[in-house]
Structure 1
Amino acid sequence: MPGPDVRTCFVGDSFVAGTGDPTALGWVGRVTAVAIARGHRLTAYNLGVRGDTSQDVGDRLAREVAPRLPSGACSGVVLSFGVNDTVLVNGRVRVTSAATVEALDRSYQAAGAAEVLLVGPPAVGDDAQNQRLLSTSEALREAAGRRGAPFVDTFSGTVQSEVWRREVRDGDGYHPGAAGYEVLAGIVVGPFLAWLDQRFRDVPPPRRPGLAGG
């Protein structure tokens, strides 16, 4: 028997948008395709914006998910940010780790009744920034843990992946091509499927009289 109709917003930065992938799938398109192939009735909305920090996501999340996750629907929000927070501007990071955690808390609140999955930031081509990213990733993991919310560590897997590092280096120093996004999707897909199974598989479909489910 098919599971419920699940509507999920993927909200974050250029990695969510799939920047640099000539197939236009990114990791979001890839994990969504796997979930649907596994039998999940999933509608995915990609709300990735290039250059967005955690603060930007926290500011826009509520108004962007509202029309896509109507009351009564089985709703999920996948959050992913952090790389742009750690970019240096005039010698200072755009967003401190403490402010990143604050933005995460606002994002959880803005998600309302939707189930939330947090996907941490991947590695980039600059070793100094990667040190900052490691700290930010750990701060996000701890913040998610305090909420009892699931967290996917993508930094460890990407920083150790020769394919990811090569594609980022051959690209713009941040974004990989298709093979790199395959690596990232491979890291995320297991936890993503587990999240869908745990949070939605046994949820009865909402009863909404008078609506055709469009």
Structure 2
Amino acid sequence: MDTPPTADHRICFFGDSMTQGTADPQCRGWVGRVCEAARVRGIDVTCFNLGVRGDTSRDVRQRWEAECAVRFTVPCATHVLFSFGANDMTLQDGALRVGYDESVANLQAMVVAARQRHAVLVVGPSPVNEPEQDERIVALCRRYEASAQQLQLPYLPIVRTLMSNQRWRGDVAASDGCHPGALGYELMASLVQRWPAWWFADNAA
């Protein structure tokens, strides 16, 4: 028997290396962990991790619609989660890879288009353990959050929480110096799972 559309949840996660789960020795990242938690609760979730190392908001904007199209091919409950921005704030030849205004515009364009067909959430960018870049990420996060409020879109700002978490910082330092290991991704997953807007939050019925 076919799974009823309302019970078949398919999620495309778009982002960068933090979405992909780079440096996680378990190869699960935070995306794998939150989807595993949902399945443990008996929720039929199909997880498409579409994080790409090095991707900026510009890169994600160019590819997200085509990648959704080949994954949402049957009747189901479709979900899209965006999480990017750290690579936008990387300096390349002395300039940001993607400036603040364009980065916000990219987020807005993706969200507006995606919401016409799918449930949409945004998780803010993570710190990368480089002080100057992290401050730029914090500034971008503020702009993302303000834009999300205007769009009445659930947005989870995680950068300051992680920057001030000694367990996170220690795990990144013990890993590759930029990405966390298993502990750090567990911390990220816990922030998402406790977020009331997350479709399968720990406190959800």
**So what's the TM-score if we normalise by structure 2?**
0.90
Q: What is the RMSD of the two structures over their aligned residues, measured on CA atoms?
A: 2.0
1:155-189 Cα shifts (integer Å, max 9, x gaps) = 12210111111122233331011111111111111
> What pairs with 1:1-214 in structure 2 (closer than 5 Å)?
4-70=7-73, 72-111=75-114, 112-191=116-195, 194-196=197-199
| Cα distance in 1, alignment partners of residues 79 and 20 from structure 2 | 17
| Cα distance in 1, alignment partners of residues 93 and 118 from structure 2 | 38
The Cα of 1:153 is off from its aligned counterpart by: 1.2
The Cα of 1:39 is off from its aligned counterpart by: 2.7
Corresponding residue for residue 212 of structure 1: none
| Cα distance in 2, alignment partners of residues 12 and 179 from structure 1 | 20
| Cα distance in 1, alignment partners of residues 198 and 182 from structure 2 | 25
Amino acid at match of 1:171: S
**So what's the TM-score if we normalise by structure 1?**
0.86
Equivalent residues, number: 198
Contact 2:31 2:49 in 1 (8 A): yes
| Cα distance in 2, alignment partners of residues 164 and 69 from structure 1 | 34
Contact 2:30 2:188 in 1 (8 A): yes
Contact 1:157 1:187 in 2 (8 A): no
1:34-57 Cα shifts (integer Å, max 9, x gaps) = 111223221110001000001100
The Cα of 1:197 is off from its aligned counterpart by: 5.3
| Cα distance in 1, alignment partners of residues 170 and 198 from structure 2 | 30
Amino acid at match of 1:190: R
